[in-house]
C-alpha cells in the first residue's frame, strides 16, 4: 500500500532527509587515497548519532554497518571494512540514511577518490544526470514509468547499461515502502504519481553489462564483467507544484 504523507509528515521527512544528506556529504568528503571504508562508515555513523538520528541501514535485515560503501565494480551494498583501503583513481559509491522523528531519509552518491579516468568521470556524470532526469519526470498526475523511462533513456543514450535487479522505492516510516521505482520502463505506464508520495529514485548504471551478482557475504553486489558502476539517489516528494528534493545538505 502506498502511504501519502500529510504536510506534518512531510516536515518530519524533510528533517530526516536533511540529516541523511548532511551525513552523505561529510562521508563523501572523507573519500581520499589511504582511507579505509570502515573509517568513512564511522564518520557517517557518528555524525548521524551526534545530531539525534539513528542510522537506518544499521541492523536492517542484519546489515552490519551505517553505510553501504561500494568501490569501482561494486554496484551496491558493499560492507565497510578496515581492510578496504581506497586508492587514487577509485570511484566510491556511498549509500546511507538516517531515521529521525520516526521517518527515514535515504540517499547515495558516487565520489571520485583523487583523480579518476575520463571514462569513470563520464560514468559518474551520466548517472547523476540520469537521476535528475528521473526527478524532472516525477510530476503529479504522471506515472512511475515516466521516471523509469527518463533514467533509462539518458543512461543508454550515453552507451551505458541500467541495472534491473535492484530498484528505487517509496520511503516514509519504513525505509522501503511501496511503490517500486525501476530505472527502466515505458513512459505512461505504472502507478500514477500523486501529491504526498515520497520516493527514493536511485539509478545504478554500469559501464558494461547490466548483469550483476551478489557475493558470498550475502550483501555486496558487483557487475558480472567487473566493469565500473555508479549510483546516485535522492529522496523526493511528489507535490502539486512539482517534485521536491528532500535530501539536500
Would you say residue 124 lies in a domain? Answer: yes
Give the domain range for residue 15: 7-245
State how many domains the chain has. Answer: 1
- The CA dihedral of 12, 15, 16, 20, to the nearest 10 degrees, is 160
Q: CA–CA separation, 55 vs 57, rounded Å?
A: 6
Give residue-wise pLDDT tens across range 13-48: 999 999 999 999 999 999 999 999 999 999 999 999
Give residue-wise pLDDT tens across range 49-96: 999 999 999 999 999 999 999 999 999 999 999 999 999 999 999 999
Can you give the pLDDT at residue 80?
98
- Find the mean pLDDT for residues 186-212: 98
Q: CA–CA separation, 73 vs 64, rounded Å?
A: 21
Would you say residue 2 lies in a domain? Answer: no
Would you say residue 1 lies in a domain? Answer: no
Would you say residue 129 lies in a domain? Answer: yes
pLDDT higher than 90, residue 249: no
Would you say residue 121 lies in a domain? Answer: yes
- Find the mean pLDDT for residues 158-166: 98
Of the chain, the percentage scoring pLDDT greater than 70 comes to: 100
Q: CA–CA separation, 249 vs 246, rounded Å?
A: 9
- Find the mean pLDDT for residues 220-240: 98
Would you say residue 57 lies in a domain? Answer: yes
Can you give the pLDDT at residue 131?
98
* 198-201, strands of its sheet edge to edge: 177-181, 168-170, 198-201, 234-237, 244-245
Task: Write the CATH number for 111.
Answer: 3.90.230.10
Amino acid at each position: 500500500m502506498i502511504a501519502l504523507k500529510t504536510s506534518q509528515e512531510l516536515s518530519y521527512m524533510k528533517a530526516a532527509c536533511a540529516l541523511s544528506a548532511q551525513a552523505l556529504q561529510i562521508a563523501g568528503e572523507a573519500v581520499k587515497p589511504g582511507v579505509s571504508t570502515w573509517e568513512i562508515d564511522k564518520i557517517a555513523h557518528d555524525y548521524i548519532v551526534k545530531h539525534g538520528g539513528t542510522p537506518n541501514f544499521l541492523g536492517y535485515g542484519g546489515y552490519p554497518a551505517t553505510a553501504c560503501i561500494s568501490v569501482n565494480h561494486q554496484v551496491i551494498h558493499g560492507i565497510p571494512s578496515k581492510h578496504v583501503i581506497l586508492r587514487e583513481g577509485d570511484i566510491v559509491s556511498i549509500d546511507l540514511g538516517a531515521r529521525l522523528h520516526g521517518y527515514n531519509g535515504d540517499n547515495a552518491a558516487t565520489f571520485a577518490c583523487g583523480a579518476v579516468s575520463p571514462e569513470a568521470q563520464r560514468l559518474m556524470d551520466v548517472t547523476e544526470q540520469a537521476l535528475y532526469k528521473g526527478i524532472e519526470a516525477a510530476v503529479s498526475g504522471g506515472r512511475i514509468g515516466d521516471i523509469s523511462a527518463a533514467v533509462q533513456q539518458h543512461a543508454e543514450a550515453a552507451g551505458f547499461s541500467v541495472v534491473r535487479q535492484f530498484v528505487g522505492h517509496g520511503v516514509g516510516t519504513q525505509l522501503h515502502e511501496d511503490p517500486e521505482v525501476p530505472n527502466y520502463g515505458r513512459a505512461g505506464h505504472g502507478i500514477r504519481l500523486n501529491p504526498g508520495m515520497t520516493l527514493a529514485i536511485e539509478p545504478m548504471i554500469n559501464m558494461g553489462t547490466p548483469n550483476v551478482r551478489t557475493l558470498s557475504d550475502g550483501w555486496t553486489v558487483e557487475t558480472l564483467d567487473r566493469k565500473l558502476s555508479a549510483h546516485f539517489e535522492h529522496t523526493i516528494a511528489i507535490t502539486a507544484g512539482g517534485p521536491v528534493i528532500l535530501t539536500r545538505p
